[in-house]
Amino acid sequence: MKQSYQTLIEMAIREAQQSPIPFGDLVTEIFETIMKLERDMFLRESDAEGNKGNGFYQRFIPSFQGKLDIRIPRDRKGNFSPLFLEVARHQSEKCSELALELFTSGLSTRKIETVIQTMFGEKMSASKVSEIAQKIQPIREAWQKRPLDNAFFAIEIDAIRLHVRRQEVYNEACFIVMGIRPDGKREILGIYLFPEEGAHAWREVFSDLIGRGLARIELIISDELKGIVEATEAQYPGAKHQLCLTHRKRNLINRIRADKKKEFSDDFNHVFTVDDPENSLSRIEARLALFTEKWKPHISNVDSCLEIGKLKNYAAFLHFPVQIRRMVYTTNWIERLNAHIRKITKRVPAFPSPDSLLNLVFMAVQHFEDGPYKRHIPAFYKHLKPLYEKHDD
């Protein structure tokens, strides 16, 4: 059986590609397919007369996501024991690494070759590893084109910078777009990579979302990315746009002496006073004037960093119930995902192609999305419900 494992992996990937399962369950489907193929080969090679498949039983095996609920195939005579299950039981960490690396191009094929050699005691060529890894691309492309719901309460947009080779190696921004439903459940809507930022790139992103069905957004939350405000106004004219206050404060505070940082942070928070139900744009303007006057000796262009003309975008949270403002004035939710992506991609000094980068980010997103993003936040919809009832009227 061990000598046929390379064939099993290739066959498993082909079968998993044709399966209509949710993408977040891809790894489980791959594991189950490998074991089912193992059983089929066992039955073909077995001399036991009348033996055949006899359904499945459930087992939990450790993985990088905690535990996977796996269906283990069995035979009628009870003689079949999957080699893959033994590997998973005794080498769960390496098995998890293999699952991620095999179905993601962009990592060193020599490294994957070494993992397979270590786990299964047989050689797989670097070209064969590369061929297998690239099979994730059509799955990722289908996910990127999937239809979207007509409406989300908000979308968050943030970028993670990664090195990718085109003709030379460039440090490019990979943008993640996350949708937030009225009940607080979150869903990654798309992954986008552009050689250069700008309004044209954001028009392309928003055109993609609209083309896939997303017609209504109440709020867009992002950093102050080049051209994004103009693109939002053009393609989602009814949406408010909140520029991330956390990013802006972080950028400014890095220019302040260490002994002044806490005072600066407190003053910045006081300008916007997110939790004040009586807050208003005029009050923020008045506090901002005092803030810039105080801190201009420390940051000469502090007034241009917080322009009055952009204040409506820094204070868009005012349009929403005070109980959820701390959830919508920052891109912190999507930054947690980006931290996960950085952890996964840090082993890759430079991706050999844009597709290889997108494939790995896609796999990282799928593993992360199956966790906290699926949970709803009860208080979220409770306070948003009047807003939606107003729209429906």
Specify the pLDDT at position 132. 52
Average pLDDT, the chain: 78
User: Do 223 and 159 form a contact (C-beta atoms < 8 A)?
Assistant: yes
Map residue 377 onto helix, strand or coil: coil
The rounded distance, in Å, linking the Cα atoms of 370 and 24 is: 6
Is the pLDDT at 263 greater than 80? The verdict is yes
For 341-363, the DSSP string reads HHHHHTT-SSBSSHHHHHHHHHH
Read off the pLDDT of residues 308-337 as tens digits, 9 standing for 90 and up. Answer: 778 899 999 999 999 999 989 999 888 888
Residue 167: which pLDDT band, with cuts at 50, 70 and 90? confident
* Candidate from 21-25, 26-30, 353-357 with smallest mean pLDDT: 21-25
Give the predicted TM-score (pTM) of the model: 0.69
CA dihedral 147, 392, 277, 272 (to 10 degrees): 40
